[in-house]
Structure 1
Amino acid sequence: MSGVRWHTSTRSGNNGGNCVEVADNLPGVVLVRDTKDRAGGASSAGPSSWTKP
């Protein structure tokens, strides 16, 4: 997928590397992947599922 821009999720803490990266710059989808396993694939969700309450 081209144009994906990953950043560390603001919900990730400083808890020993248990972080996720998020790509929320694509229309209609948010991608999430494990920071420690970037080649392991990504999960996807709709933007409304990722919005802060």
Structure 2
Amino acid sequence: MSAHHIPDASALTAWRKSSYSGADNGDCVEVSDGHPGLTPVRDSKTPTGPALLFGADAWSAFVAGVKG
């Protein structure tokens, strides 16, 4: 695991999609819970692809921006 990404996101567990992804459970980003201080994010279309890692402050700012 590097400081900014994980080459194979399937190495992590507990991935979840936003409840806003729709009833058809379409493709979107997923996050993995249970990693103190980090939020791994991946593309649901490529679950074995890379995951980006966001620090707590960066993730909070992103979520606040989306909600705003």
TM-score normalised by L of structure 1 = 0.68
Q: Distance in 2 between matches of 1:47 and 1:6?
A: 17
Q: Using CA pairs under 8 Å that are at least 6 residues apart, name the structure with larger relative contact order, 1 or 2.
A: 2
Q: Any stretches of 5+ residues in structure 1 without a counterpart?
A: none
Q: Any stretches of 5+ residues in structure 2 without a counterpart?
A: 2-10
What SS does the corresponding residue of 1:25 show, helix, strand or coil? coil
Once the two structures are aligned, what percentage of the paired residues are identical? 38
Q: Distance in 1 between matches of 2:27 and 2:34?
A: 23
- Higher strand proportion: 1
**Runs of at least 4 residues off by over 4 Å:** none
Aligned residues between the structures: 52
Q: Distance in 2 between matches of 1:3 and 1:40?
A: 11
1:33 aligns with 2:37: no
Root mean square deviation of aligned Cα: 2.6
- Higher helix proportion: 2
TM-score normalised by L of structure 2 = 0.56
| Partners of 1:4 and 1:26 within 8 A in 2 | no
